Chains A and B, each alone.
Chain A
Amino acid sequence: MTTLPTRSGLAELSAQGRLGLAWHALPWVLAFVVFYMAEGYLSLWTNALIMILLTLSLDLALGYAGIVTLGQAAFFGFGAYAAGLFAIHVHNDPLIGLVTATALSGLFGFVTGILILHTQGVTLLMLTLAVAGLLAEWANRAYEITGGDDGLQGVRMGPVLGLFRFDLYGKTAYLYSLAVLFVWFVVVWRIIVSPFGRSLDGIRQNPARMRAIGTPVWWRLVAIYTISAAMAGTAGALSAQTTRFVGLTTLSVLVSGTALVMLMLGGTRRIYGAFLGATVYVIVQDYAAKVNPFYWMFFIGALLMATVLFLEGGLMDLGATVRKYWRRAPVKKP
């Protein structure tokens, strides 16, 4: 029977029945294993969860809808500042702050999307960069509001749901981030298997085809850009709330670039690609920095090159590629 997805790794997995279900549970089980094993390291892993969320948001815009963007930092930083300022000036409840920051980031994405999504390719890339650049410069200048170079300090968060205080070990921060990531994961899953997600996939492949069947291409792109921005905003808000600090670096191109590298590492349009890419990145970065604190980027670079050269679909393709060579090898030998 032709069930919903045909291409995504998701479908291949769920087609395997019980084993498929086990695969889907794996990332979340691992997340709990980390929670119990990574004593003292939880802030690192909380950051990994936040980066997974950011990378997943990039996958929606870039991977599925084909919106070439390096401006994801704009929404990440926007969400971070929104959550930080909300906590300082309005209310310190994390969830209310998170929802507000998410909504505002979505609105910001909607407005900028309307302005720039008429364009394509390099022009679009430049415009997304420009949006992030403008926002970063504004944050730098608006010292009274953002703290400028010094960053936004004095963010104090209340307990999550009025019950769970953010503790010194980062346990609450980790579980809170994990729960938020799960909610967004479900949303993304729904989107990519839905007719809406399929139309985005179509737009990425061939906008002319989609126009010929009556798809309002621009509105669809604005819609997914808005969702992607909201999601990146959530990631930024989580970062602000769990570290209780917002710096200018949240708006830097480096954030967009890092998310892109994570996505490429893991694999685009694979939903778990973001999980794998961001996790591997964080682990390699941590180890490499211990081995040599100055050249950790070299290891990331080497890993990225190897992945791009040998694994078309990122690390998510590792299993399939190995199996392919495994099968091919005996055939070659007479």
Chain B
Amino acid sequence: MTATPALSVSGLSKNFGALAVAQSIDLDLVPGARMGLIGPNGAGKTTFVNLLTGMLRPDAGSISLGGEPIDRLKPEDRVRRGLARTHQINTLLNETSVCENVAIAIAERDRIAWRTLRFGPQWRACLDEAQDRLRQIGIAEVADRRVSELPYGQQRLLEIAIALALKPRVLLLDEPAAGVPSAESHVIHDVLEQLPADIAILIIEHDMDVVFRFAREITVLVQGRILTRGEPAVIAANPEVRAVYLGRSVV
């Protein structure tokens, strides 16, 4: 099958001085992919995400989204082409209501965020859609609360809701369960399970439980280089991967 990959990365490299943080990384995500990206601290996972989103410029290599090169695009233009992300640390509008956090993203997606005239009906539509999306993700009851009043776990869910509201082709989940007590991580997992099937998803996560349950394929990154990739069961059994994690049991 040769479907156009939703996201295609080839030969992506980046050095911070003498430190190679990304060494010729190749990665393809087909539509609907559920790819996990794991690796020990300092392996370059976050750098990789920043290269994809355009926060960092690569030294070499190319990135394309749905077959179109996006290397030269600014971060916000990549988002507009369908590359959304969530953040490892909550990055929300804390003084704004939960519902409006999502609605503002929808307004941006629908290109009505420049409007100052005759915006009424569209903005109301944004709020309605936002309400629906909050309901789907299970936090509709706090829609009118300020984000700063929300417990951390619900803020994590809001991060995901905002990214989904952009209707992305590719979604980068940067440690969606980070900071969530393990007793509550099943809530995150349930939400991940219900993500639209056609979105290509790359998940970075330290909680191996979450990754191995969610991902259908796992890439292991070590010192900016891809060590190996494969199905979760294969990765879990791989002695090299086990060695990288210093004997820590992977599953």
Contact = CB atoms under 8 A, between A and B. Distances in A.
Given A202-B96, A205-B95, A214-B166, A196 B115 contact: yes
Contacts of B108: 199, 210, 213-215
A211 interface: yes
A201 B112 contact: no
B166 A213 contact: yes
A195 B76 contact: no
A212 B85 contact: yes
Interface string A1-42: 010101100000000000000000000000000000000000
A133 B186 CA distance: 59
A196 B116 contact: yes
B109 interface: yes
Contacts of A2: 99, 127, 144
A198 to B, nearest CB: 6
A318 B133 CA distance: 38
A190 B114 CA distance: 12
A211 B55 CA distance: 10
A202 B93 contact: yes
Contacts of B87: 208, 212
A211 B112 CA distance: 16
Interface size class of B (residues with CB under 8 A): 35 or more
Contact of A196 (B76, B114, B122, B126): B114
B220 interface: no
A213 B115 contact: no
B79 A212 contact: yes
B117 interface: yes
Contacts of A209: 91-93
B109 A213 contact: yes
B107 A195 contact: yes
B97 interface: yes
Contact of A195 (B53, B119, B162): B119
Contact of B95 (A7, A190, A212, A214): A7
Interface string B108-132: 1100111111011011001100000
Contacts of B104: 195, 198-199, 202, 213
B30 interface: no
Contacts of A210: 108
Contacts of A198: 96, 100, 104, 107, 113
Contacts of A95: none
A214 B104 CA distance: 11
Contact of A213 (B74, B95, B105, B122): B105
B80 interface: yes
A215 B122 CA distance: 18
Contact of B107 (A4, A7, A199, A205): A199
Given A191-B116, A196-B116, A212-B85, 16 more contacts: A2-B144, A4-B123, A6-B97, A7-B96, A195-B126, A198-B96, A199-B107, A201-B96, A205-B95, A206-B94, A208-B91, A212-B53, A212-B84, A212-B91, A212-B162, A213-B105
Q: Which 7 A-B pairs have the closest CB atoms?
A: A214-B79, A213-B105, A194-B116, A195-B107, A214-B80, A205-B93, A209-B91
